[in-house]
Amino acid sequence: MQVVYEDNHIIIVYKESGEIVQGDKTGDKPLAETVKEYIKEKYHKPGNVFLGVVHRLDRPVAGLVVFARTSKALSRLNEMFRKGEVHKTYWAITQNVPADEAGTLTNWMTRNEKQNKSYAYDREVPGAKKAVLNYRVIGHSDRYHLLEITLLTGRHHQIRCQLAHIDCPIKGDLKYGARRSNPDGSISLLSHRVQFTHPVSGKEIDIVSPLPNDALWQSFGK
């Protein structure tokens, strides 16, 4: 775990791929617990440490996760996420490149709970929710392309599903059509940047994530 920003009310950390944000049926230690231990030790806090989870990242995804350190920050951040006032930018590495260098993807998405997978459609279907994202191609290597993505809605596996729908599955994402897995089990999707107005102080927060310790990510970083 790497702390990239902290104050009395919020803490932002870099999540490695493979870590879970909150506890689940696997029983693996979640990132939230690691952050609590960090706060308890650093500030010599007795008893239980308060930490509020305001959003999540899929387990194979790396990047920035925002936590609330106070109940005031938690309630306000929850409202800000609900209203779309927290702006998150993602980077994705794909083998195929979209037909247009930049654009907006609009689909209707359904979720299959049993498969833990979402499906995208070009028209409205029963039970579907509208999903919208903006993307632009910002880098190329010999075999891969780097896309910058801004979510305008927050659907289950939205980026993974919508990119796969245009035949641009994320590198390593077998669930959504990638040809092979990444050696470490990650998918090449990064929660790269988060921007919002601090829920208590009102100052502007703008944090950029470190890059995964991977040769391809590092080459795009240069």
Question: Would the pLDDT of 217 be above 80?
Answer: yes
* Domain ranges, ordered by start, for the chain: 2-221
pLDDT band for 1, please (50, 70, 90 cuts).
confident
pLDDT for the residue numbered 25 = 78
Q: What's the mean pLDDT in 128-145? A: 97
- Rounded Cα distance between 171 and 159, Å, is 12
pLDDT for the residue numbered 24 = 81
- Rounded Cα distance between 16 and 30, Å, is 11
pLDDT for the residue numbered 23 = 79
Average pLDDT, the chain: 96
Alpha helices, H only, the chain = 31-42, 71-83, 158-165, 215-221
pLDDT band for 126, please (50, 70, 90 cuts).
very high
Question: Would the pLDDT of 2 be above 80?
Answer: yes
Q: What is the dihedral of CA 161, 167, 173, 174, to 10 degrees?
A: 110
pLDDT band for 221, please (50, 70, 90 cuts).
confident
pLDDT band for 162, please (50, 70, 90 cuts).
very high
- CATH code for the structural domain at 2-221: 3.30.2350.10
Q: Where are the beta strands (DSSP E) in 32-165?
A: 52-53, 62-68, 87-94, 102-112, 117-121, 129-140, 145-151
Q: What's the mean pLDDT in 142-158? A: 96
CB 18 within 8 A of CB 184: yes
Q: Could you read off the pLDDT of 97-109 as tens digits, one per residue?
A: 999 999 999 999 9
